[in-house]
Chain A
C-alpha cells in the first residue's frame, strides 16, 4: 500500500518513540513507588520519635515541617501520576500527524504531533503537544508557505509534507499524506462512526476555523455562533485544554475556569473530554445553582430551567402566554435596570428614627439618612447598613457610663441596699438599650423577600421605575406574580430576578477568582442573566457559544450577541461564525433546514446517508404500536444509540411506557449512560447527539407555533445517521415546507 522505504522509516521512528515512552513509563512508575515508600518510612520514623507529642515550640515546628514535607511529596507524586497517565495515553496512540517544516534559515524539521509532548533523554522533542504553537500549522495550512504565532513572535517557513497516522493500541496501522488541512476522507471516516455515551475529543480532526477559536487568547470576549453540529461544545472544551496548557505560564488552572451548562445530562455527556485531553475536569454550574448561591437561603427551592420548559410546553395556550411573558419580563435587560433603580428607591424610602440615651439625643434621623445614601460610597448597601449598625452601637456604648451615673443618682437610697439600687438602675438602662436595639434593627435590616414581592406586584412602582409611561401588560403581570407570591418554590424567572436584586444590595465574592467563563447554549440565557455574570465574574474572560436557531422557550436572532457584548463590556471582542455542520448527513441537514429562517450560510460536511423518513398514522395507538419496528429498523441499519424525542417530558414518558422493551427514560436532570434506546424531551436532548433519532408526534396539534418550529430543528439535528419523523392525524404544517439547498 505504501512506498516500502517510507513505510520502513515511519515504522522505525514509531518503534523508537514507543521504546522511549516505555522507558519513561518504567522510570516514572519506579520513581513514584519509591517516593511512596520513602514517605511512609519517614512518617513512621517521625511518629516513633514522638514528634507529634509534647507541647514545646520546637516540637511543634518539627511537626509543621513534617507536614510540609509530606505535602511537597504529595504534590510531586500527583505530578508524577499525571505524567504516568499522559505516557500511558501516548503508549496507546503516540501521535497522529506529522508536518515537515522548514523555518526560513533553519534546516527542515519533522514535527510529530500527539496528545502530549514527549522529550527524549537529550531534551529534544520526539512528539509535540497538539497545543504547542508550532502544531497550529498542521491544522491551519496546506503544503507550502506557512506561519504561526510563537511566544517570541511570528515564525514563518515552508511545509513540504503533511502526513496523518492511525495509531491505535500501540500499533501503527496506516498513514497517508494529505495536501489539505485535514483530509476530508479521514474526517468522513471518523464522522461515519457511531457516537458514544460521552463526547469524544477531536484533536485529530480540528478544522482551520475551529483551530482559530481554540487558540485565540488575545480577546476578552469570544462569541461563537455555530450551526447545529458544528462542534461548538467540543471546541469550547478543547479551547479550555489549550488555555490550561498555555496557562501553565500564566497560573491558570482548573479552578479558575467555569462552564455554565444547561443541565446535568449535558454535563455528564461532556465530562470525559478534558480528562481525555489529559487535563483536570473543571467546574460546571447551572444558572439555578448560581442563583441559589447568591440568594444563600438554605433549603430554598428553586424551579429548574427544565421544569420551567416542561411546564411552558405542556400548558394550554393562555397559560403559556402568561408564563412566557413573566419569564421574558423578569429576565429582561429592562427589568434588570429597573431593579438597579429600585435599590436607590428603597434606600430613599427607608425610615429612620432619632436615638436617645436618657435625654441625650445620640443620633438624628436626618444624619442617619445622609450616612446611608452618601454618594461616593463604594460599600454595598448591606455593607453600609452594617457599618451604620456598628456606628450607632458605638455611640450608645460611649454614652453608657454617664447614663449609668445618672440612673444611679436617681435610684440611690430608694431600695433595701446599694446593691439593689444598682440593679434597678441597670434595669432601666437595659430597658432603654432594648428599645434602641429594636430601633437599630428596624433601621438597618432589609426584608429582601418582602421588597421583591412588592416590586413584582405593584404596577405603579414598576411604571415609576420604568420611567417611560406604562410597562406593557403591567397589570396582568403583577396579577400573575401576586397569584404566585406565596408559592413555596421560587420560579426560575423569580429566582433569577431575585438573585439579581440581591446583588444590588450585597456583594457576592464566591466566584471572585474565576478567570475564564465558558457559556454554552448562550442563546438560551436572558440579558438579566448576563448582567449577573458580569457582576459575579467582573475580571473574567469569556467564551460564549450558541446557535440562535436552537433557542428553546423563546425565539432569538443575532441581536442576542449584540446584547451580550453590550452587557459584558469587554475591551477586546471577537465574533466568529461556524457554518459547517459535521454531525448530520447531507440528507438530515437539508431536511432540518426547513425549520429555520436564517440559516447563516449553513453548510453540510459532505457525507451521505439514508433518506429522512416521514410516516403518518391514523391514530396515536397505531403509531406507538409501530415504534418497536421503527427502532428495530434503525438498529438493523447500524445505529447503536437511538433517541426517541418527544416535545415534552410527559410525551416522552407516555411513549416510553407504551414501548415496553429495553430502553431508558431520560426525564430528570441527572447523569445517565447515554447508550441504547432513549426516550426524552427535546430540551434534554439539546447539545447531545445520537446515531438515530425518531421525532415523535410531529403532528399539526403538537407543533404549530414559531417556537415549536425551532424545537423540530433542534430535535432533527441531534441525529448523525438516521432520522425518522412520525405523526398521527395530520402532519405539522412545518413538515410540508420546502427544504433548502445547503
Chain B
C-alpha cells in the first residue's frame, strides 16, 4: 500500500517514488506546500476510495501518519462490509 501512496506523493511534488519514505514530513515547515498537501489529499482520496477528513489531515505530520490513516479507514470499511461473514481467521488463531 505504501508504494501506491509513495507514487501519489512523488507525483505531487515531482520526484522519484523511491525518494519517498514513511518518516518523510508531509506537513509543517519541512513538509509539502499547502497547495501540494491539498492536491495529495485529493489524489489519495480518489486512489484509495476513502474520505480523508480535514480535521484528521490537520494532524498528519509524516507520510507514515497518512498511511496509517488510510489503512485504518480501509479496515473499518471492510469491517462494515464483512459484518456478517462467518469467521475471522486471524482472531480465531490468535485468541487465547
- Residues of A whose CB lies within 8 Å of any CB of B are 57, 60-61, 63-64, 68, 393, 396-397, 400, 422-424, 426-427, 429-434, 436-437
B54 within 8 A of A: yes
Q: Which of A64, A393, A396, A427 contacts B34 (CB 8 A)?
A: A427
Interface residues of B in 3-48 (CB under 8 A from A): 34-35, 37-39, 41-42
B67 within 8 A of A: no
A57-B89, A426-B38, A430-B58 known; 8 new pairs, CB 8 Å cut-off, are A64-B92, A396-B55, A423-B42, A424-B38, A430-B34, A430-B38, A436-B58, A437-B59
Describe A's contact surface by its main secondary structure. helix
Q: Known contacts A57-B89, A60-B92, A422-B42; is A427 also within 8 Å of B35 by CB?
A: yes
Decide: A429 and B54 in contact? CB cutoff 8 A.
yes
Decide: A430 and B89 in contact? CB cutoff 8 A.
no
B35 — nearest CB in chain A belongs to which residue?
Answer: A427
Decide: A437 and B38 in contact? CB cutoff 8 A.
no
Q: Which residues of the partner chain A approach B53 to less than 8 Å between Cβ atoms?
A: 393, 396-397, 400
Q: Which residues of the partner chain B approach A397 to less than 8 Å between Cβ atoms?
A: 53, 55-56
Decide: B57 and A433 in contact? CB cutoff 8 A.
yes
Q: Which residues of the partner chain B approach A422 to less than 8 Å between Cβ atoms?
A: 42
Instruction: Determine how close the nearest CB of chain B comes to the CB of A419; give it in whole angstroms.
Output: 8
Q: What's the tally of chain B residues with a CB closer than 8 Å to chain A? A: 19
In the complex, A431 Cα to B58 Cα: how many Å? 8
Q: Which residues of the partner chain A approach B55 to less than 8 Å between Cβ atoms?
A: 393, 396-397, 400, 433, 436-437
Q: Which residues of the partner chain A approach B87 to less than 8 Å between Cβ atoms?
A: 57
Q: Known contacts A423-B35, A423-B42; is A396 also within 8 Å of B93 by CB?
A: no
A-B contact pairs, 22 of them (CB 8 A): A57-B87, A60-B89, A64-B93, A396-B54, A397-B53, A400-B53, A424-B38, A426-B54, A427-B35, A427-B38, A430-B34, A430-B38, A430-B41, A430-B57, A430-B58, A433-B54, A433-B55, A433-B57, A434-B58, A437-B55, A437-B58, A437-B59
Q: Which residues of the partner chain A approach B35 to less than 8 Å between Cβ atoms?
A: 423-424, 427
In the complex, A499 Cα to B96 Cα: how many Å? 34
In the complex, A535 Cα to B34 Cα: how many Å? 48
Instruction: Determine how close the nearest CB of chain A comes to the CB of B75; give it in whole angstroms.
Output: 18
Pick the most buried of B39, B54, B59: most chain A CB atoms within 10 A of its CB: B54
Instruction: Determine how close the nearest CB of chain B comes to the CB of A551; give it in whole angstroms.
Output: 49
Instruction: Determine how close the nearest CB of chain B comes to the CB of A162; give it in whole angstroms.
Output: 51
In the complex, A437 Cα to B61 Cα: how many Å? 13
Q: Which residues of the partner chain B approach A68 to less than 8 Å between Cβ atoms?
A: 96
Q: Which residues of the partner chain B approach A61 to less than 8 Å between Cβ atoms?
A: 92
Instruction: Determine how close the nearest CB of chain B comes to the CB of A441; give it in whole angstroms.
Output: 9
Q: Which residues of the partner chain A approach B93 to less than 8 Å between Cβ atoms?
A: 60, 63-64
Instruction: Determine how close the nearest CB of chain A comes to the CB of B92; give it in whole angstroms.
Output: 7
Decide: A426 and B42 in contact? CB cutoff 8 A.
yes
A56 — nearest CB in chain B belongs to which residue?
Answer: B89
Q: Which residues of the partner chain A approach B89 to less than 8 Å between Cβ atoms?
A: 57, 60
In the complex, A57 Cα to B41 Cα: how many Å? 39
Q: Which residues of the partner chain A approach B54 to less than 8 Å between Cβ atoms?
A: 396, 400, 426, 429-430, 432-433
Q: Which residues of the partner chain B approach A63 to less than 8 Å between Cβ atoms?
A: 93
Decide: A430 and B42 in contact? CB cutoff 8 A.
no
In the complex, A234 Cα to B59 Cα: how many Å? 56
B33 — nearest CB in chain A belongs to which residue?
Answer: A427
Instruction: Determine how close the nearest CB of chain A comes to the CB of B2; give it in whole angstroms.
Output: 22
A393 — nearest CB in chain B belongs to which residue?
Answer: B55
Instruction: Determine how close the nearest CB of chain A comes to the CB of B31; give it in whole angstroms.
Output: 12
B93 — nearest CB in chain A belongs to which residue?
Answer: A60
Instruction: Determine how close the nearest CB of chain B comes to the CB of A392; give it in whole angstroms.
Output: 8
Instruction: Determine how close the nearest CB of chain B comes to the CB of A686; give it in whole angstroms.
Output: 45
Q: What are the interface flags for B73-96 relative to A under an 8 Å C-beta threshold, 1 for contact and 0 otherwise?
A: 000000000000001010011001
Q: Which residues of the partner chain A approach B92 to less than 8 Å between Cβ atoms?
A: 60-61, 64
In the complex, A480 Cα to B93 Cα: how many Å? 58
Decide: B39 and A423 in contact? CB cutoff 8 A.
yes
In the complex, A422 Cα to B57 Cα: how many Å? 16
B42 — nearest CB in chain A belongs to which residue?
Answer: A426
Q: Which residues of the partner chain A approach B42 to less than 8 Å between Cβ atoms?
A: 422-423, 426
A432 — nearest CB in chain B belongs to which residue?
Answer: B54
Q: Which residues of the partner chain B approach A400 to less than 8 Å between Cβ atoms?
A: 53-55
In the complex, A422 Cα to B38 Cα: how many Å? 9
In the complex, A430 Cα to B31 Cα: how many Å? 14
In the complex, A422 Cα to B34 Cα: how many Å? 13
What 3 A-B pairs have minimum CB-CB distances, sorted nearest first?
Answer: A433-B54, A437-B58, A427-B38
In the complex, A272 Cα to B37 Cα: how many Å? 63
Q: Which residues of the partner chain B approach A431 to less than 8 Å between Cβ atoms?
A: 34
In the complex, A342 Cα to B39 Cα: how many Å? 47
Instruction: Determine how close the nearest CB of chain B comes to the CB of A54; give it in whole angstroms.
Output: 12
Decide: B37 and A430 in contact? CB cutoff 8 A.
yes
In the complex, A427 Cα to B59 Cα: how many Å? 15
Q: Which residues of the partner chain B approach A429 to less than 8 Å between Cβ atoms?
A: 54
Q: Which residues of the partner chain B approach A424 to less than 8 Å between Cβ atoms?
A: 35, 38
Pick the most buried of A393, A396, A426, A437: most chain B CB atoms within 10 A of its CB: A426
Instruction: Determine how close the nearest CB of chain B comes to the CB of A523; give it in whole angstroms.
Output: 45
